[in-house]
Amino acid sequence: MHNHLLLLLVAGAGGDKPFAKASPSPLSRVLRISQLDAFELDGALEQLVWSQFTQCFQHFKPGLLTPVEPELKALLQLLLWRFTVYSNSATVGQSLLNIRYKNTLIPGEKYRPMSRPQKFWFALLTVGEKWLRDRSNSLFLNHPAESNARKARKVLAILTGLTKVASLVNFLLFLQRGTFPTLTERLLGVQPVFSRPQGPRDINFQFLNRELLWHGFAEFLIFLLPLVNVWKLKASVTALLSPLNDLRGTEGSEETYCTECAICGEWPTMPHSIGCNHVFCYYCLKSHTIADVSFTCPKCAAKAGMMEPVRIHLGTELHQS
């Protein structure tokens, strides 16, 4: 939520007015947040396609796809590029948000789709760059001692650093001007625009007020809930509903709470006690006392004392921890 609000504030400072009437022209500028959301949708789609593809080989030998994983990912991304950018001058995320690329190298107000060279360079700078980054690691690992490999690694590291710096500068310019969110788009001269005229974006004041109140309440709960010791609260309520006198009443009840862990409810493994009449598995008790320094018995709310091993008697049988 904070990221979206920050981006909307930056967009408003840069001249975008998200709550004003948009221009009826299909070439009206796209909000910064919409352009970034399109990238998030594209990334989610790539992960979904890759996960569906790998599930087809889940019953094969483990690691079967590892040697050719970069090539397979590049092939799937090229397949997506063929039916999105190459066909419609828009990625899947942009299509969902009614956005497409405009060729800004040709002046004029009329919409111009991406040229064929721009589409091919777009694939090379996006899919090719990801493939080279993934494949370069294995290439250098196979030839670690060769001088040519070391030189190539240094050159690639320098180019990667320069590219990251240029991408950072480009992103800062994008936050200021609202155009060309990636370095690839700036180099190719393609700009996201709306694919059809946008109508007025009128939002009711009551809706905004309700959303702000709800999000504020949700953030308050997210901050408050981790501070509440739910386990201790549950133990206190259980102790009120089940007094100690009832637990010490009959022999049958004693047999029950002595032969099952007070935490997991199973037969206690390496039974231990904390000073009350209940028995715990060693690992259940140890993990809970480490997680909660003020751990109390969930049955009787007794404070945890020193852990001691327990012998459990059942008739003539003797079980020793």
Same domain, 211 and 292: no
Q: Residue 287's pLDDT band (boundaries 50, 70, 90)?
A: confident
pLDDT of 91 reads 92
- By residue range, what is the domain housing residue 247? 229-320
Question: What is the chain's mean pLDDT, rounded?
Answer: 78
| pLDDT tens column, 75-104 | 999 999 999 999 999 999 999 988 999 998
pLDDT of 320 reads 41
Instruction: State the helix-helix crossing angle for 116-123 and 69-83, rounded to 10 degrees.
Output: 150
pLDDT of 105 reads 87
CATH number of 316's domain? 3.30.40.10
Distance CA 247, CA 152 (A): 75
* pLDDT over 90, % of the chain: 29
Same domain, 66 and 206: yes
Same domain, 197 and 256: no
| pLDDT tens column, 184-205 | 999 999 999 888 776 666 677 8
Contacts 24+ apart (CB under 8 A), 10-19: 10/175, 11/178, 14/175, 14/176, 14/177, 14/178, 15/178, 16/178, 18/201, 19/201, 19/202, 19/203
Domain-terminating residue out of 156, 183, 217 = 217
DSSP state of 135: H
Domain-terminating residue out of 164, 195, 217 = 217
pTM of the model: 0.56
Distance CA 231, CA 248 (A): 23
Asked whether residue 222 is domain-assigned, the answer is no
Q: Which of 45, 124, 133 is nearest to 91 (CA)?
A: 45
Answer whether residue 289 shows pLDDT above 80.
yes
Element (H or E) spanning 272, and its range?
strand 272-273
Answer whether residue 308 shows pLDDT above 90.
no
Of residues 259 and 58, which shows the higher confidence score? Answer: 58
Distance CA 280, CA 213 (A): 45
Answer whether residue 291 shows pLDDT above 80.
no
Q: Three-state secondary structure along 105-122?
A: CCCCCCCCCCCHHHHHHH
